[in-house]
Amino acid sequence: MTVQIENRDNGIQIVRLTGASASKSFSRESLPIIADAIDKGLKNPEIKGMVITGEGKFFSAGADINAFQESIEVNEAPQLIRDLTNILHPLLMRIRESSTIVVAAINGAAAGGGLGLALACDARIASPKAKLAASYASIGLSPDGGTTWLLPRLVGEQRSRQFFFENQIWNAEESANAGAIDEVVNEDELINRCIEIATNWSQWGNHFREATKHLLHVQTLNDFETHLKHEQTLIEAAGTTMEFKDGVARFFD
């Protein structure tokens, strides 16, 4: 059970979930390792873009069902769920709020909380082997991992209702047609395409990346007037940065 880290040019980092980190991502053993690896990249000012991917058949298969069974037997399932969501949910918020551009390279199945991890990223690129699944209904759990907040914003509320209540599994083409992923590319092109997007999107200044991600994240929560004031506050702050001064100078050049 490992998480492999690879640094590329232009401040791009690849975080690869391997072994149990991909097939049983959200266990007490795997999840802290995954969160720590992603957090280190998000906190590193040298890392401007991150590509998260899995291994083999799995991008991130979500919870360890064996651990759920064991927790039922000892009557501690709610505590296990609380322990896991207390790690996963803050991690998803940090991904959404970070200035780092995070791209999901969905090589295989993204299910349960693993689906939430993919949906929380700034972009999602998939190989033809990718699958998106909620899988909560079949084991009697309600959704978590931000899936019921993130998916409707990508595909619409009614399409999301169908996905959850019919316990659907979308292949790569269906996911792209619905709007849950951005592109489908050949398996051997997946990582390079994600690096290309991460490099392109992360070329801009730190304030622009962080403020733009934040504004897009909260825009559905604000009325228009409140959002305009929010934009005003952030663009005023941008006016004090070297990024702004350098950008204006380049424009005149």
Give the tens place of pLDDT for each residue, 226-250. 999 989 999 999 989 888 888 888 8
Token pair, residue 211, equals 């403020």
Q: Is the pLDDT of residue 1 over 70?
A: no
Structure tokens, 45:
């000012």
Residue-wise pLDDT for 200-215, tens only, equals 999 999 999 999 999 9
Task: For residue 1, give the 3-state DSSP assignment.
Answer: coil
Contact 170, 182 (CB under 8 A): no
Phi-psi bin for 45: left (phi > 0), alpha (psi -120 to 50), beta?
Answer: alpha
> Are 205 and 243 within 8 A, CB to CB?
yes
Q: What is the pLDDT of residue 153?
A: 95
Express as a percent the part of the chain with pLDDT over 70. 100
What is the C-alpha to C-alpha distance for residues 87 and 210, in angstroms, rounded to an integer? 22
Please tell me which residue, 177 or 251, carries the higher pLDDT value: 177
Q: Express each pLDDT in 69-87 by its tens digit.
A: 888 888 888 888 899 999 9
Question: How far, in Å, CA of 169 to CA of 178, rounded?
Answer: 12
Helices within 146-241 (DSSP H only): 147-155, 157-165, 172-178, 190-201, 206-218, 224-238
Phi, psi of 110 (to 5 degrees): -120, 110
Outline where DSSP puts E strands in the chain.
2-8, 12-18, 49-53, 58-60, 101-106, 109-111, 123-126, 131-133, 169-171, 183-184
Strands 169-171 and 131-133: antiparallel
Which superfamily does 2-201 belong to?
2-enoyl-CoA Hydratase; Chain A, domain 1 (3.90.226.10)
CB 13 within 8 A of CB 6: yes
